[in-house]
């Protein structure tokens, strides 16, 4: 007797879907000029401003004599052409263009200027200097003085800190 067979057919279809995702790779870096050497005298520079008599500090703006000093960078590699000095520090509460005195004398502040005193520098000022190609150095000639922004200075000590960050190109 013939029995019809049971045939079962499976149809398996695989679908392959390509998943496409956009991606990007960021590659970054810096090309920098080799560093100059900050002169050892500049690293922990102390500028002596002398002693003033309180009687000479009664009126706003009165102060001591200007004291010259230099910030010096040496051994700048060939290819380094410019140096920038960024000045910072605590701002005086009476005169935002001056540095705060952290000593015991009140109503006193620090003023920084160019060597000829024509340009006053304030906390946040940026100074630029070209590198001397013959001796591979850069010098920032500056002057400092203590003064009274509002007058009526009191006797005591004077101390102020100016920070300098150098960058070169």
The string of pLDDT tens digits covering residues 126-152 is 999 999 999 999 999 999 999 999 999
CATH number of the domain bearing residue 125: 2.60.40.1090
Give the domain range for residue 85.
37-168
Q: Residue 150: inside a domain, yes or no?
A: yes
Q: Residue 72: inside a domain, yes or no?
A: yes
Neighbouring-strand partners of residue 82: 130
Query: Residue 50 is encoded by which pair of tokens?
Result: 């002398």
Q: Residue 90: inside a domain, yes or no?
A: yes
Lowest mean pLDDT among 9-23, 101-115, 121-135: 9-23
Q: For the sheet containing 163-168, what is the strand order?
A: 126-130, 82-88, 163-168
pTM strictly above 0.85? no
Q: Residue 118: inside a domain, yes or no?
A: yes
Q: Return d(Cα 61, Cα 1) in angstroms, integer.
A: 128
Query: Residue 40 is encoded by which pair of tokens?
Result: 């050892």
Q: List, in sequence order, every beta strand (DSSP E) within 101-147.
A: 109-114, 120-121, 126-130, 138-147
- Check residue 64 and give its pLDDT: 96
Q: Residue 55: inside a domain, yes or no?
A: yes
């Amino acid at each position: 007797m013939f029995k019809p067979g049971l045939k079962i057919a499976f149809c398996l279809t695989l679908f392959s879907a390509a998943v496409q995702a956009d991606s990007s790779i960021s590659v970054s870096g810096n090309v920098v000029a080799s560093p100059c050497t900050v002169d050892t005298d500049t690293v922990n520079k102390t500028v002596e401003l002398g002693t003033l008599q309180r009687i000479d500090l009664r009126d706003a703006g009165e102060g001591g004599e200007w004291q010259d000093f230099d910030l010096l960078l040496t051994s700048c590699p060939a290819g380094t052409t410019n140096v920038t000095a960024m000045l910072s520090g605590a701002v005086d509460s009476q005169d935002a263009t001056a540095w705060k005195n952290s000593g015991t004398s009140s109503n006193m502040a620090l003023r920084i200027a160019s060597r000829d005193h024509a340009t006053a520098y304030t906390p946040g000022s940026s100074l630029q200097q070209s590198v001397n190609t013959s001796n591979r150095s850069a010098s920032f000639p500056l002057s400092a003085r203590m003064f009274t922004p509002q007058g009526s200075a009191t006797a005591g000590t004077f101390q102020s800190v100016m920070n300098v960050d150098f960058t070169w190109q």
